[in-house]
């Protein structure tokens, strides 16, 4: 519900220049995940604060879900230290001064939401002083790393981060969030192949054996911008089948109901266990639907009203 309302704010400001009577001329990008919230929430529920996620093209929901999950799992004193030390406590002071209310977890939640919103609005109180904006916001204490304007780029970056975790002996996993359209991009296939190289088991020293701890998490909303992946821009009929091309384990590929956060949470928990055991990488084909356009200028001319209305029955908020 928080993710849905947060992105509804952005959509309203982008389209109308106002939200609930508050006027603001937002000129930045707005790639919204409205309709896909259950995928982000389910994944975050089964991740730990030291697990690192790298964003898909529409990453606001991923950022918020991972942040809320980290807030609930971090000890109170650690959470307070994070807020006080970030930019010398400037964002925390803004939250406590301007958003007065119950202390405790509500303060941390407001810290997360205002920090991201201010970043999107290019304000100095944003997590990255307003220089990252909508697509490149990040906050390492929560394990949230940037989105990327290059389709599927999270695959290579998350694979590199997973390699670093392996070599440094660091705990946790990395998650590469991407859309189904990214399976048409070479770097995504290169990343999956690199993460599953046989040499990790056959040639590396015992202390470093095992595939990389990276989860390729595909938010499969059936469209690559305006092209339908099944039957049009791709050759596969079910995204999870691409795992068969990578290794004998098909990188533990699985298709999941992405409109059900509990199903996603269960799948991510099972894949995470494999990854921390050195049996990675893994792939999840998380089927969902974006009820918003690719961006706010998208008039959805490539899909019918009947299709969109049919998917409304599977909206995760309902």
Q: In the prediction, which pLDDT does 88 show? A: 96
CATH number at residue 310: 3.40.50.970
Is residue 104 scored above 80 in pLDDT?
A: no
Confidence of residue 225 (pLDDT cuts 50, 70, 90): confident
| pLDDT score for 71 | 97
Q: In which band, very low, low, confident or very high, does the pLDDT at 36 lie, cut at 50, 70 and 90?
A: very high
Return the pLDDT at 294.
78
| One domain for residues 213 and 98 | no
CB 111, CB 95: distance < 8 Å: yes
Rounded mean pLDDT, 177-201: 97
Question: Are 52 and 64 in the same domain?
Answer: no
Looking only at the bridges linking them, the beta strands covering 214-220 and 223-224 are unpaired
Domain end point (choices 135, 164, 183): 135
What's phi and psi for 177, nearest 5 deg? -85, 130
| Total-model pTM | 0.96
Does residue 169 fall inside a structural domain? yes
- Which has the higher per-residue pLDDT, 30 or 17? 17
In the chain, what percentage of residues exceed pLDDT 70? 99
Whether the bond into 281 is cis, omega within 30 of 0:
yes
Mean pLDDT, the chain, whole residue set: 94
- 50-54, 195-199, 298-302: segment of lowest average pLDDT: 298-302
113 and 220: one domain? no
Q: What is the C-alpha separation between 21 and 1, in angstroms, rounded?
A: 21
- Domain range enclosing 91: 60-135
């Amino acid at each position: 519900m928080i993710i849905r309302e947060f992105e509804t704010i952005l959509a309203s400001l982008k389209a109308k220049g106002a939200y609930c009577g508050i006027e603001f001329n937002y000129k930045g990008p707005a790639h919204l995940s409205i309709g896909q919230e259950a995928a982000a929430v389910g994944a975050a529920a089964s991740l730990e604060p030291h697990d690192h996620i790298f964003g898909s093209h529409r990453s606001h929901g991923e950022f918020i879900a991972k942040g809320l999950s980290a807030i609930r799992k971090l000890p109170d004193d650690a959470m307070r230290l994070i807020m006080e030390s970030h930019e010398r406590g400037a964002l925390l002071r803004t939250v406590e001064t301007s958003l007065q209310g119950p202390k405790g977890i509500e303060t941390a939640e407001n810290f997360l939401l205002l920090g991201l919103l201010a970043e999107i609005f290019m304000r100095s109180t944003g997590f990255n002083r307003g220089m990252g904006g909508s697509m490149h916001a990040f906050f390492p204490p929560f394990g949230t790393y940037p989105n990327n304007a290059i389709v599927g780029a999270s695959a290579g970056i998350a694979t590199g981060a997973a390699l670093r975790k392996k070599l440094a002996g660091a705990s946790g996993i990395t998650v590469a969030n991407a859309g189904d359209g990214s399976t048409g991009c070479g770097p995504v296939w290169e990343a999956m192949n690199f993460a599953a190289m046989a040499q990790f088991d056959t040639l590396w020293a015992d202390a470093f054996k095992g595939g990389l701890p990276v989860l390729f998490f595909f938010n499969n909303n059936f469209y690559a911008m305006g092209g339908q992946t099944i039957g049009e821009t791709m050759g596969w009929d079910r995204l999870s089948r691409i795992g068969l091309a990578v290794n004998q384990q098909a990188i533990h590929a699985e298709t999941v109901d992405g409109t059900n956060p509990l199903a996603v949470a269960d799948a991510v928990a099972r894949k995470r266990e494999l990854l921390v055991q050195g049996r990675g990488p893994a792939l999840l084909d998380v089927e969902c639907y974006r009820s918003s356009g690719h961006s706010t200028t998208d008039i959805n001319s490539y899909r019918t009203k009947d299709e969109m209305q049919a998917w409304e029955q599977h909206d995760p908020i309902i």
